Amino acid sequence: MTDTAAAPAATTIVFLLIPGITQLDFTAPAQALCRMPGALLVSAAASRDPIATDSGFSILPTDDFASCPQADILCVPGGHGVAEALGDAATIDFIARQAAGAKWVTSVCTGAFLLGRAGLLTGKRATTHWAYAHLLPLVGAEPVTARIVEDGNLVTSGGVTSGLDFALTLIGRLHGDAVAQAIQLAIEYDPAPPYIGGHPDRTPPAITAGLKARVYDAAAERMERALIGPLGSSRSRSDGR
């Protein structure tokens, strides 16, 4: 007897890549989502040149903005490069065009601000990395302290590692809990961190204060300046500026 079971419908998942991306914002959800039935993973950037990550290596996009297919799921990762990307008209236009036809619009970490610059967070509940959450009202969003926040077809997630939780949550919505749990098992996502913490609510205050002073106070100020600044004209990212 032949197997007449229908193949799962194809789902095109488009990840935006920008210079300075936090690689785990992209690679963690991509690792789970690529195992979803029918998944077709696409990574798009302004050009097909290698994209430098924050980890000292680069990622090669599969497409540029012009060749990228329409996303069923659009995912916008974050990173320290977001502040510059907020002023790039071509990047923001790409997000807006893709979001208009996507079934799901999602972000990881500070990628939420790129969604916001594209006008996609107005009146929406959203989350982002804890160090930047106070800036969400600047893009019209209602900040929510949570690892994953769903508002209609919009799904935002917190910092870096929360992208994996977001991916499994979305897989569960699309294919059911059993499929999501099987993928979680396949990648052995069974976190048992060596320290209690990972969020200011559960981390010793001195550690949080020290990290903010060393990294995130200045980074959040830079993000704020970018958010209140104008959207710049479209230009190539390959010029190094």
57 in Cβ contact with 25 (< 8 Å): no
Structure tokens at 102: 């996507």
Residuewise pLDDT in 10s, the chain (241 residues): 445 566 778 999 999 999 999 999 999 999 999 999 999 999 999 999 999 999 999 999 999 999 999 999 999 999 999 999 999 999 999 999 999 999 999 999 999 999 999 999 999 999 999 999 999 999 999 999 999 999 999 999 999 999 999 999 999 999 999 999 999 999 999 999 999 999 999 999 999 999 999 999 999 999 999 999 888 643 333 333 2
Name residues whose C-beta falls within 8 Å of residue 241's C-beta, 6 or more positions apart in sequence.
Answer: none
**Backbone phi, psi, residue 45, to 5°:** -140, 175
User: Which one of 34, 68, 75, 109 is the catalytic residue?
Assistant: 109
Per-residue pLDDT, 4: 53
pLDDT given for residue 241 in this prediction? 27
pLDDT recorded at residue 231: 80
Cα torsion angle, 65, 68, 70, 71, sign:
negative
Distance CA 53, CA 18 (A): 8
Query: What confidence score (pLDDT) does residue 5 get?
Result: 61
| The dihedral formed by the CA atoms of 107, 108, 112 and 113, expressed in degrees to the nearest 10 | -130
CB atoms within 10 A of CB 119: 13
Cα–Cα distance between 85 and 223 in angstroms, integer?
Answer: 10
Structure confidence at residue 3 (pLDDT): 52
Neighbours of 236 (CB within 10 A): 12
Task: Tell which residue, 154, 152, 148, has the closest CA to residue 168.
Answer: 148
Give CA–CA dist 179/209, Å, rounded. Answer: 40
pTM over 0.75: yes
Residues 168-211: tens digit of each pLDDT:
999 999 999 999 999 999 999 999 999 999 999 999 999 999 99
Beta bridge mates, 21: 53, 79
Positive or negative torsion for Cα 16, 40, 151, 97: positive
C-alpha 176 chain-centroid distance: 22
> Which domains are present in the chain?
11-239 (3.40.50.880)
- For residue 75, indicate whether it is catalytic: no
Residue 100 to residue 112: CA distance in whole angstroms: 16
User: Position 227: which residue type?
Assistant: L
**79 DSSP assignment:** B
